[in-house]
């Protein structure tokens, strides 16, 4: 992704038409709802991408890994640990499938790491794209289910888990804005001391009192679910029905007025782009 140069319009209160602003964001990728692509042929290592997804999963979830070659591997995950491979869809059995499918995993099984690696590599065979979709785990986690941590699997497979989130805030927020463009009436994009605004003045005024970075960031802190992390996205429905959205990525914040009933679409696009 390419960091966008907004310096030409980098004073508070500068107005840009939204399509003009979006033209500057040509490098920012669009994503639609549904599974999220985490690795492509020639890009990120798919095994590292799988481990990263497991490592980012704290609550009980089934991660549905799927490839464009038609194979799917469903993994039960909680607390950054892979509990079991709960389902496999493949035209032909994957390496180690019989032993892995449905079996409780734990680190004391000396060969579990090797089996999992071979199984995932088999699932990726002939595929160019690996995607993931998270679902709620449809069962209780038994007290004895300990699983194998993503960190341990990373050690076994020779990877270092990347603790740093993507940092190209301009490209991520640009991609988000492009994806929801048809629902956006007006907005302000704040980066550092500067801001770009778009939309009619009267519509912008409906965003509320003078918006600044600290105030918007403060609202996200008030909306935090994780006590240690401000919420990345907050959407509130206003009395007229329209929705005010605050989205933060890195040190940049978007404050938007969007059409009524667009929250679900907007949230879906945000998750697709950021994985959050």
In the complex, the residues that contact other proteins under the rule CB under 8 A are 56-61, 133-136, 140, 222-226, 229, 231-239, 263-265, 267-268, 270-271, 275-276
Q: Among residues 4 and 233, whose Cβ is nearest to other proteins? A: 233
CB of 261 to other proteins, least distance (A): 8
| Smallest distance from other proteins to CB 171, Å | 19
Q: Which residue is listed with tokens 């033209």? A: 23
Q: How far is the CB of 52 from other proteins (least distance, A)?
A: 12
Return the number of the residue (21 or 254) whose C-beta is nearest other proteins.
254
Structure tokens of 228? 């240690």
Calpha distance 56→139 (Å, rounded)? 20
User: For residues 99 and 119, what is the distance between their CA atoms, to the nearest angstrom?
Assistant: 10
As measured in angstroms, the least distance from the Cβ of 262 to other proteins is 10
Nearer to other proteins, 212 or 263 (CB): 263
Query: CB atoms < 10 A from the CB of 224, how many?
Result: 13
Q: Which two tokens stand for residue 72?
A: 């799917």
CB nearer to other proteins: give 235 or 257.
235
Closest distance between other proteins and the C-beta of residue 213, in Å? 19
Quick one: 146 or 267, whose CB is closer to other proteins?
267
Q: Which is nearer to other proteins, 59 or 98 (CB)?
A: 59
Burial class (CB in 10 A: 0-12, 13-18, 19+), 223: middle
Q: What sections of the chain are H helices per DSSP?
A: 18-23, 46-55, 97-100, 112-124, 150-157, 169-179, 201-205, 213-222, 263-274
Shortest reach from residue 98's CB to other proteins, in Å: 29
Alpha carbon distance 59, 210 (integer Å): 37
Among 134, 155, 103, 119, which residue's Cα sits nearest to residue 46?
A: 119
């Amino acid at each position: 992704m390419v960091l966008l140069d907004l310096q030409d319009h980098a004073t508070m209160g500068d107005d840009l038409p939204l399509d003009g602003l979006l033209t500057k964001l040509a490098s920012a990728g669009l994503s639609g709802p549904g599974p999220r692509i985490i690795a492509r042929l020639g890009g990120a290592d798919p095994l590292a991408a799988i481990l990263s997804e497991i490592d980012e999963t704290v609550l009980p979830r089934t991660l549905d890994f799927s490839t464009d070659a038609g194979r799917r591997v469903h993994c039960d995950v909680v607390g950054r640990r892979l509990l079991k491979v709960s389902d496999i869809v493949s035209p032909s059995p994957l390496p180690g499938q019989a032993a892995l499918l449905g079996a409780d995993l734990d680190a004391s099984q000396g060969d579990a790491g090797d089996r999992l690696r071979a199984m995932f590599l088999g699932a990726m065979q002939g595929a160019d794209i690996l995607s993931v979709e998270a679902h709620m785990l449809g069962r209780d986690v038994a007290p004895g289910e300990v699983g194998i941590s993503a960190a341990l699997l990373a050690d076994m497979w020779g990877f270092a888990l990347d603790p740093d989130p993507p940092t190209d805030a301009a490209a991520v927020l640009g991609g988000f804005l492009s994806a929801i463009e048809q629902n956006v009436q007006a907005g302000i994009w704040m980066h550092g001391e500067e801001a770009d605004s778009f939309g009619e003045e009267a519509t912008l005024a409906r965003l509320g009192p003078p918006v600044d970075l600290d105030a918007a960031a403060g609202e996200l802190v008030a909306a935090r679910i994780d006590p240690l992390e401000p919420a990345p996205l907050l959407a509130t429905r206003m009395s007229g029905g329209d929705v005010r959205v605050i989205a933060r990525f890195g040190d940049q914040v978007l404050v938007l007025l969007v059409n009524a009933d667009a929250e679900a679409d907007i949230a879906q696009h945000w998750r697709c782009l950021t994985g959050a």
